[in-house]
Amino acid sequence: MIEDDGAAEPAAVRRAAGTAESSRANRHWWDGNADEYQDEHGAFLGDARFVWCPEGLDEAEARLLGPAASLPGRRVLEVGAGAAQCSRWLAAQGARPVALDISHRQLQHALRIDDARGRPGLPLVEADACAMPFADGSFDLACSAFGALPFVAEPVLVLREVRRVLRPGGRFVFSVTHPFRWALPDEPGPEGLTVLSSYFDRTPYVEEDGTGRAVYVEHHRTMGDRVRDVVGAGFRLLDVVEPEWPDWNEQEWGGWSPLRGRLVPGTAVFVCEREKTHGQG
């Protein structure tokens, strides 16, 4: 929850929220909450690690983007990059990442980390993932760790944009809140283990200020919806990874916790590939 320009505490409601309203609300929310987010989660994320989710699945072991030897020289787009921790890890592997985010403040944290490390800054792009400022086929790979896709009204717009800017055969791997989580309250303790709303209810979660203006929006897709979005945007779905909660991880992150993580999935990672054009095998 955030304070909205001195106004009353936002109220949580379930109501429709379209593409423009969701983008505006989330840009505002992430700008206002980036400092707290990086303060709270920066150590777990690491300045130059690639962590897919609160379960702690690390790309250095998971290799969902492909084997280590395939990364050097690859042009990689990170969507909803936040402070670009994943991009920094990719750069250290020899890849050529570009980190895109809608939030100016999140990208300022990326600059802060680069400055503190005394390394050349990563290429950062402030833009909405629903309309990306890149030419067709600009990237070999794309990735997103909880970036943009849980927050946009029409994830198929983002998926189509990623498909457009990827070369044929390029891979896109993205993590999102596991669709099952929608039915449970966002609580890490036992109260987070009771189904309180329908898994099938796609009505967005909206926090709005006293005037009814959305200041934070999250959208829900069922597992079937996510698969249809991926395939409908022109990707082949290669895998869906549901990371299990590891014994070493004792941290809580919102509703993610060791208690809940050992019982039900919290994250889904979709591994997709842009279909090759005719004649490319």
Ligand X SMILES: C[S@@+](CC[C@H](N)C(=O)[O-])C[C@H]1O[C@@H](n2cnc3c(N)ncnc32)[C@H](O)[C@@H]1O
Kindly determine how many residues on this chain lie close enough to bind ligand X according to the rule CB under 6 A.
Answer: 20
Binding mask 166-205 for ligand X (x = CB under 6 A): ----------------------------------------
For tokens 């702690």, what's the residue?
56
For tokens 């699945």, what's the residue?
57
**Rounded distance, CA 83 to CA 48, Å?**
10
How many CA atoms lie less than 13 Å away from 49 in the CB half-sphere?
14
Nearer to ligand X by Cβ, of 58 and 275: the residue is: 58
20: tokens are: 């423009």
Which stretch, 2-10, 59-67, 146-154, 257-265, contacts ligand X (CB under 6 A)?
A: 146-154
Residue number of the CB closest to ligand X reads 82
Provide the phi-psi class of 258: left if phi over 0, else alpha when psi is between -120 and 50, else beta.
Answer: alpha
3-class DSSP state for residue 214?
strand
Ranges within 39-58 binding ligand X (CB under 6 A): 45
Binding mask 151-170 for ligand X (x = CB under 6 A): xx------------------
Which stretch, 67-75, 98-106, 183-191, 255-263, contacts ligand X (CB under 6 A)?
A: 98-106
Which residue among 25, 77, 90, 102 contacts ligand X (CB under 6 A)?
Answer: 102
Which residue among 10, 56, 80, 265 contacts ligand X (CB under 6 A)?
Answer: 80
Number of Cβ within a 10 Å radius of residue 6: 5
Residue 128 φ/ψ, nearest 5 degrees: -85, 130
**Rounded distance, CA 163 to CA 158, Å?**
9
| CB of 162 closer than 8 Å to CB of 131 | no
Which residue among 81, 157, 215, 230 contacts ligand X (CB under 6 A)?
Answer: 81
Least Å from the CB of residue 240 to ligand X: 19
Q: Enumerate binding residues for ligand X (CB under 6 A).
A: 23, 26, 30, 45, 80-82, 101-103, 106, 128-130, 145-148, 151-152
